[in-house]
Amino acid sequence: MATFSRLIRAIVFDFDGLILDTEEPVYRSWLEVYQAHGEDLPFERWVQIVGSTTAGFHPQHHLEERLGRPLPKEVLDRRIDRRTEMVLAQKVLPGVVRHIDDAKAMGLKLGVASSSTTVWVRGHLARLGILDRFDCMRCRDDVANAKPEPDLYIAVLDCLGVLASEAIAIEDSPNGVLAAKRAGLRCVAIPNSITAGLDLGQADVQLASLADVTLAELLSKLSAG
């Protein structure tokens, strides 16, 4: 444990569904649109895009195909408003700030690797008052491929100036875990309401909440795993 802890120089956080539960609001905002049109939103298709982009499943295009017509602009605008309203009602997920504090106290660097846009991630981190805690951030507009490809993790490791073996990733989705593992990082999975039933088995350690452990305990679990 002591040796392993000394090796670790950085923690890389995912954003959506890990720092802030944006996943439930985004899903719910689309579910409401589908329900208002008498259609089912297929959850097995939805989860393909969690932690990634809408390249694999585009809810708007899918629903428009089902209906045989484009969705009016006011429906799309109202969906965004509902999503924003629900996201703004969320607080930083339990344990996140303490892990940031613990990492700083241990002299570790902190990064964010997100399949969302820089505007989205920076905006929320600034609003939550934790943007300046992170040394580096890489988002989908910085790289060629979003998660589950390793590009975001490779880019953030480069920016932090650490090796994959010197960093751990914390993720909430299968796409995120896969991206971290493909980049060679050890990965902790913390599922949320959307990802709880999904296979996060590729992670080195899975926990119900970051609030359940201190960072030292988390490193100990990773060392044992």
Catalytic residues, by residue number, are 14, 16
Q: Which of 8, 10, 14, 179 touches Mg ion (CB under 5 A)?
A: 14
Interface region with Mg ion, contact rule CB under 5 A, candidates 7-15, 122-130, 133-141, 145-153? 7-15
21 touches Mg ion by CB under 5 A: no
Residue 147 or 186 with smaller CB distance to Mg ion: 147
Asked if 125 contacts 116 with a C-beta cutoff of 8 angstroms, the reply is no
Smallest distance, Å, CB 2 to Mg ion?
A: 31
- Near Mg ion by CB under 5 A: residue from 25, 51, 148, 174: 51
Minimum distance between the CB of residue 136 and Mg ion, rounded to whole angstroms? 18
Say whether residue 17 binds Mg ion (CB under 5 A): yes
State how far the Cα of 81 lies from the Cα of 87, in Å rounded to an integer.
10
- Of positions 12, 16, 83, 213, contacts Mg ion by CB under 5 A: 16
Question: CB 20 → Mg ion: shortest distance, Å?
Answer: 10
Among 45-53, 56-64, 69-77, 197-205, the segment contacting Mg ion (CB under 5 A): 45-53
- Tokens encoding 60: 């708007």
As measured in angstroms, the least distance from the Cβ of 111 to Mg ion is 14
- For 67-85, give one letter per residue: b (16+ CB within 10 A) or e: eeeeeeeeeeeebeebbee
Indicate the residue among 59 and 176 with the shorter CB distance to Mg ion.
Answer: 176
Question: Which CB contacts under 8 angstroms, 24+ apart, belong to 216-224?
Answer: 216/5, 216/102, 216/106, 218/99, 218/168, 218/188, 219/1, 219/4, 219/5, 219/8, 219/168, 220/1, 220/5, 222/4, 222/168, 222/186, 222/188, 223/1, 223/4, 223/5, 224/1
Binding site for Mg ion (CB under 5 A): 14, 16-17, 51, 172-173, 176
